């Protein structure tokens, strides 16, 4: 049947408003328009939500519960990065606070009272998913609360209305959520920032914790080396969020974005590969089920007396004292901010460390057997810190995915 649409719906709270990206983006199940009955089906993956979209055109090729709200885990770091990269001088030095130094697990080992280069912190943020680097960079805006306000404002600027950011690193926080659709908007913006792509595609880089104490930052995202056309992405995982992933790939001038939420652990990148393969095969053949909306209009504003910069019009309206909120028409509908689901996220550090050590082995050389490395996950966080201090370069390569 021409124009066949699949909508395998799960039991969920009905959506009462028109969703950003088009009416089909309100679906709580799989939506895809096949050109014919013989078309290859979109792959089944062990995740609660996903989006596969063409970054060039903005067309959403297929989706599953695109506006469903889930914990983002470390994919939140992409939003943090695209917000702060344009605002921070890459050559500036940032003084690590006690809050940043105490952030665990999976940190770069920042030492309170020492200064670190902004560009090095962004590299740590996007290669090894350094949670302490996220805090240090956020505080570099002037304060942690100011940085978080900027991050949430950037989400609004991108029309990523499902986002509620509480922690810049994506570590669990009550009420912190993102959607697969909003992560696709964030990923599309990341593609437009050359500095982000440079940090994100770095395979390995040195990082100086203190004078004469160096570690090697090894990128966790094996899509970069194992998938033809892989150009970037971000891995995430916590117990409650399960695995999350943003993947970016380009072939023959076509750039695809895949975002995955609440996926079975260790399956997020292989699931992304399946969706990317389908997307490249069906791009231009399937009728899009939605569109990645563009960012809101920006206005020019003075920035600390050093010239002008572009800021979201909505943010400018807020700072000028306007109490009204603009309404934007997309795909023939009125955009309304979606209600954000809350709930505390529960962390089990020992179980989490074990799973992520297994995942690191799988990512390093998929699909090689990683059983020999699994015992490493049982090490306590105290031993992790001690071992990192005594033998940092060798140990870091084994511990990096403990909690992304």
Residue (of 277, 269, 225) closest to 251 by Cα position = 277
> CA-CA distance, 92 to 160, in Å (whole number)?
30
From 27, 48, 129, 370, the catalytic residue: 129
From 27, 48, 69, 77, the catalytic residue: 77
Burial of 25 (0-12, 13-18, 19+ CB in 10 A): buried
> CA-CA distance, 131 to 203, in Å (whole number)?
18
Q: Which two tokens stand for residue 199?
A: 């940090």
> CA-CA distance, 259 to 245, in Å (whole number)?
6
For residue 182, CA distances in Å to 15, 159, 293, 321, 337 come to 16, 8, 10, 27, 12
Cross-strand bridge partners of residue 51: 63, 259
Contact (CB, 8 A) for 209 and 110: yes
Identify each DSSP E strand in 252-307 by its residue range.
254-263, 290-291, 298-302
38 is catalytic: no
From 27, 48, 74, 271, the catalytic residue: 74
310 is catalytic: no
391 is catalytic: no
Q: Which are the catalytic amino acids? A: 74, 77, 129
């Amino acid at each position: 049947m021409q124009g066949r649409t699949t909508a395998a719906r799960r039991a969920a709270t009905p959506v009462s408003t028109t969703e950003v990206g088009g009416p089909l983006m309100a679906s709580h199940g799989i939506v895809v328009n096949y050109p014919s009955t013989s078309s290859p089906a979109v792959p089944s993956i062990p995740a609660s939500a996903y989006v596969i979209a063409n970054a060039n055109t903005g067309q959403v090729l297929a989706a599953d519960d695109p506006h469903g709200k889930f914990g983002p885990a470390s994919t939140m770091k992409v939003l943090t990065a695209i917000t702060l990269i344009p605002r921070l001088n890459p050559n500036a030095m940032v003084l690590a606070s006690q809050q940043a130094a105490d952030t665990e697990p999976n940190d770069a080992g920042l030492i309170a009272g020492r200064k670190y280069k902004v560009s090095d912190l962004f590299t740590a943020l996007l290669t090894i998913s350094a949670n302490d680097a996220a805090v240090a960079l956020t505080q570099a805006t002037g304060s942690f609360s100011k940085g978080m306000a900027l991050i949430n404002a950037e989400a609004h600027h991108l029309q990523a209305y499902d986002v509620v950011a509480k922690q810049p690193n994506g570590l669990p926080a009550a009420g912190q959520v993102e959607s697969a659709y909003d992560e696709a908007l964030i990923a599309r913006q990341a593609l437009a920032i050359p500095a982000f792509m440079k940090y994100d595609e770095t395979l390995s880089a040195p990082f100086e914790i203190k004078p004469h104490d160096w570690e090697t930052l090894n990128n966790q995202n094996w899509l970069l080396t194992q998938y033809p056309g892989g150009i970037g992405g971000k891995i995430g995982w916590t117990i409650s969020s399960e695995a999350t992933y943003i993947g970016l790939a380009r072939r023959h001038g076509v750039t695809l974005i895949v975002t995955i939420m609440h996926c079975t652990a260790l399956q997020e990148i292989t699931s992304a590969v399946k969706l990317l393969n389908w997307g490249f095969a069906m791009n231009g053949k399937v009728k899009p089920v939605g569109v990645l909306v563009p960012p809101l209009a920006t206005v020019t504003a003075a920035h600390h007396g050093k010239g002008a910069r572009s800021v979201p019009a909505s943010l400018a309206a807020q700072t000028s004292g306007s109490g009204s909120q603009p309404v934007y028409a997309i795909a023939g509908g009125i955009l309304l901010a979606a209600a954000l689901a809350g709930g505390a996220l529960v962390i089990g550090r020992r179980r989490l460390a074990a799973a992520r050590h297994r995942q690191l082995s799988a990512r390093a050389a998929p699909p090689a057997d990683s059983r020999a490395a699994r015992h490493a996950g049982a090490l306590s966080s105290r031993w992790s810190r001690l071992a990192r201090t005594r033998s940092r370069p060798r140990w870091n390569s084994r511990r990096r995915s403990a909690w992304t």
